[in-house]
Structure 1
Amino acid sequence: MGEVRQDKNEGDRWIQHYCSSHQILLVGEGDFSFAASLARKFGDAVNMIATSLDSKDDLIRCYPFAKTNLKELEDCRCSVLHDVDVHTMVSHPLLLSKSFDRIIFNFPHSGFYFKEDHWLQIFFHVRLVSGFFKSAVDMLTENGEIHITHKTANPYSKWEIEKLAEEVGLYLLEKVPFVIFDYPGYVNRRGSGDRKAETFLVGQCSTFKFALNLAGEFIHLV
Structure 2
Amino acid sequence: MGNEEEHQEEVKESKEVHDDDDNSDTEDEDEEEEAEIRKKHYSSKQRILLVGEGDFSFSLCLARAFGSAHNIVATSLDTQEDIARKYSNGIGNVRELEERGCLVLYKVDAKQMSQHYFLKTQRFDRIVYNLPHVGFLYRESSYCQIQLNKRLVKGFLKNAKVLLQKEGEIHVTHKEGDPYNKWDLVKKAEKIGLILHDVVPFCKDDYPGYCNKRAHGSSSDAEFHLGDCSTYKRQELGYSSPLPGFLSSDFESSKEEGLDDYLFLAEDERMF
Q: Is the 8 A contact 2:79 2:107 kept in 1?
A: yes
Q: TM-score, normalised by structure 1?
A: 0.92
Gaps of 5+ in 2: 1-30, 249-262, 264-272
Structure number with the higher helix fraction is: 2
Query: What CA distance in whole angstroms lies between the structure 2 residues aligned with 1:46 and 1:147?
Result: 20
Query: What CA distance in whole angstroms lies between the structure 2 residues aligned with 1:193 and 1:128?
Result: 19
Q: Which residue of 2 aligns with 1:113?
A: 137
**Alignment root-mean-square deviation, CA:** 2.1
Q: Which residue of 1 aligns with 2:196?
A: 172
Q: Is the 8 A contact 1:15 1:38 kept in 2?
A: yes
CA drift of 1:194 comes to 2.5
Q: TM-score, normalised by structure 2?
A: 0.75
CA drift of 1:171 comes to 0.4
CA drift of 1:199 comes to 0.8
CA drift of 1:134 comes to 1.1
Q: Is the 8 A contact 1:133 1:164 kept in 2?
A: no
Query: What CA distance in whole angstroms lies between the structure 1 residues aligned with 2:192 and 2:177?
Result: 24
Percent identity between matched residues is: 45
In structure 2, relative to structure 1, the CA distance for the partners of 1:164 and 1:8 (3 Å cut) is: farther
Q: Is the 8 A contact 2:86 2:215 kept in 1?
A: no
Q: Which residue of 2 aligns with 1:158?
A: 182
Q: Which residue of 2 aligns with 1:85?
A: 109
CA drift of 1:165 comes to 1.7
Q: Is the 8 A contact 1:153 1:205 kept in 2?
A: no
Q: Which residue of 2 aligns with 1:42?
A: 66
| Counterpart AA for 1:193 | G
Query: What CA distance in whole angstroms lies between the structure 1 residues aligned with 2:75 and 2:121?
Result: 16
* 2:162 matches 1:131: no
Ranges of 4+ aligned residues in structure 1 off by more than 2 Å: 7-10, 160-164
Query: What CA distance in whole angstroms lies between the structure 2 residues aligned with 1:164 and 1:198?
Result: 32
Gaps of 5+ in 1: 1-6
Structure number with the higher strand fraction is: 1
Question: Alignment length, in residue pairs?
Answer: 216
* 2:72 matches 1:51: no
CA drift of 1:162 comes to 2.4
Structure with max Cα Rg: 2
| Counterpart AA for 2:48 | I
Q: Which residue of 1 aligns with 2:229?
A: 205
